[in-house]
Structure 1
Amino acid sequence: MSTDGQPHILAIGGGTLVPDDRYGMSPSPLMRYALDLTGQDRPRICFLTTALGDGNEYIARFYAAFSRLDAEVSHLALFPMPNVADVRSHLLAQDLIYVSGGSVANLLALWRLHGVDEVMREAWHEGVVLSGQSAGALCWHVGGNTDSYGPQLRPLTDGLGFLPYSCGVHYDSDTQRRPLLQQLVGEGTLPGGYAADERVGLHYVGTEFVQAVSYGDGAHAYRIEPDGSGAAKETVIDPRRLASL
C-alpha cells in the first residue's frame, strides 16, 4: 500500500511493457513509477488479465516481465473460477494492483458479476495503488471509447467511476480515438477528462489529476473539456519525463 496513505491511480495510455532482446518484454519506466508509488522496498503486486480472458499465454507473459522487478508477484484470474480462495483478502493484501488491456466491456461485466468492482473500490480507499493500461486505464473512469464491440470504436459510459472523468487511451496511435472522445465530451455523453498518448501515464491522487508522466520523446497528455457549443476543447499537458531504464 502507498506509504502516504493516499489513494493513487496511474492510468496508462500504452507502453507498460517494452521489448527486450533477452527477456522478451520488460517493465517500462511507467511500471516502475507505479511501483515507486507504493513506497515499499519489495511491494506485493497482483495483476489481472480479465480483459484478455485470463489466457495462460498472457498470464505467463506478465509473470516473465514482472519477474524483472524486485517485487512479490501474484495474479487474480476469474476463468474458469477465481484462482484464489478469497478474492477480497487477496486484493486488499496487495501494494499495487495492475490491470491489463483487452476488452474493457468484458472486464466490467466479469468484475461486477464476481464483486471485484466493489473490492477494487475498497482497496483504493485503503491505499492500494491501482494501475493499468488501455482497458486497465479506462475502467477506473466514468468512460471513454472502446473497441470491445468491434474495430469501429463505440462509447463506453459505464466505467467504475472512481475517477469522475472521461479517459482517452492510445491517443496518438489510433486515429479514431481523438475525434470520438472529443465528440462524446462535446455533446455531453461523457464528462470532461484526460487522455494519454502511448508511453504516457495519468497520475491521480484521490480524484485529483496531479501530473502526467512519460518516457521517450514527443508523447503528451491532454485535458478535454466541453466548450459550451456542443464541441470540445483540448489542452496539451506536458508530462514529467521519467528516466530511461
Structure 2
Amino acid sequence: MKKVVAIGGGEISRFETLKIDEEIVKLTGKANPKALFIPTASGEPEGYCETFDLVYGKTLGCKTDVLFLIKDNLDSSQIEDKILWADLIYVGGGNTKMMMEIWRSKGVDKMLVDAYQRGTVLSGLSAGAICWFKYGFSDSLRFQSEETWNYIKVEGLGLFNAILCPHLDEENRREYFEKFMINFDGIGIGLENGCAIEIIDDTFRIIKSFENAHAYVFKRGRDKLFVEEIKNDDYLPFSLLS
C-alpha cells in the first residue's frame, strides 16, 4: 500500500500535531518503526532535529535518524541507504523551493518516489506536505526578502495531481490562494494548521489535531471559483476531489 500524510501546519515542538503524528506511526504497522527526518527546507537546524527525536523517538517509540543533505557530504549510495532503512519518512517545513532544488541535484526526488512505490510511509508538514504533490503554493521567496516577496508555485514530486496550500488560516494566505486558483487549471487543496490529508493508494481522508481545523478543495469554474470544505474522516476515492 502507498501511504502519504500531508500536514497543513502546527508546531511539532508544542505537540500541536501529535494526534496526526500518532496516525503516521500507526500506518507503518510496527510497534517501533524506523523514522527518518529530512530537515532540508529549514537548513537542518539542530533544535528541529532534537524536536523530531523528542516526538517521534521518545514519545512515539520510533528509532529515529536524520538525513542531512546540506551539512553532510553524502554520496548517492549513502543517501539511498538511509531512505531504504526507513519505515516512515517525515519532511520538515521551511523553504520548499530550496529543498526541491537540493533534492533534485542529489537524486533524492527519485529516491523518495521509489520509497512511495515500496510502501514507505511518507509524511511532512508545510514544505514537507507540499513536496508530495504536483505543485505547492509556497512562501519560499520570503526567505530571500521579508519585505518584498510574493507567493509562488513550486513544483513537487508529483505523486498527486493537485496544488497544495498549507497554513491556509495564516495571514492572508487563503485570499492569495483563491486569487491564484482563479487562473489555475487544476484542483487545489488547502489545509489549515492542525489539519492533514491522509492518502492511502487511491483513497483519502482528513485527520485533525485541532478540532476546529479545516480542509478545502478549490476548483476553477467557467466564471467563478468553487470552494468546498472536505469533511470526510472515512476513506473516499481521491478522484472525487477532481
Query: What TM-score do you get using the length of structure 2 for normalisation?
Result: 0.86
Match among 210, 220, 225 for residue 216 of structure 1: 210
1:56-205 to 2 correspondences below 5 Å: 56-66=46-56, 67-82=58-73, 86-150=78-142, 151=146, 152-175=149-172, 177-188=173-184, 191-205=186-200
In the TM superposition, residue 82 of structure 1 has moved relative to its aligned partner by 4.2
Which SS does the other structure have where 2:65 is aligned? strand
Aligned to 1:3: none
Shift of 1:239: 5.3
SS in 1 for 2:155: coil
CA offset digits 1:57-109 (Å, max 9, x no partner): 22222223322111111110112334686111221221110000000001100
Q: Tell me how far apart the structure 2 counterparts of residues 168 and 209 of structure 1 sit (CA, whole Å).
A: 20
Call closer, same or farther: CA 1:117–1:60 in 2, change over 3 Å. same
Q: Answer whether contact 2:88 2:120 (CA < 8 A) is retained.
A: yes
1:155–1:184: 8 Å Cα contact kept in structure 2? no
Residue of structure 2 equivalent to 1:46? 36
- Specify the alignment match of 1:236 in structure 2: 229
More helix by share: 2
Offset, 1:27 = 5.8
From the superposition, tell whether residues 222 and 184 of structure 1 become closer, same or farther in structure 2 (CA, over 3 Å).
same
CA contact (8 A) 1:182 1:232 kept: yes
Count of paired positions: 227
Q: Can you give the 5+ residue segments of structure 1 that lack an aligned partner in the other structure?
A: 1-5, 20-24
Relative to the length of structure 1, the TM-score reads 0.85
- Partner residue of 2:238? none
Tell me, in whole angstroms, the C-alpha distance in 2 between the residues paired with 1:196 and 1:26.
15
C-alpha distance in 1 between matches for 2:10 and 2:3: 19
Task: Supply the distance in 2 between the matched residues of 1:162 and 1:212 (Cα, whole angstroms).
Answer: 18
Q: Secondary structure at the match of 2:140?
A: coil
Compute the RMSD of aligned alpha carbons.
2.1
CA distance in 2, matches of 1:92, 1:16: 28
Partner AA of 2:209 in structure 1: Y
CA separation in 1, counterparts of 2:132 and 2:207? Answer: 18
Q: Bigger shift: 195-204 or 149-158? A: 149-158
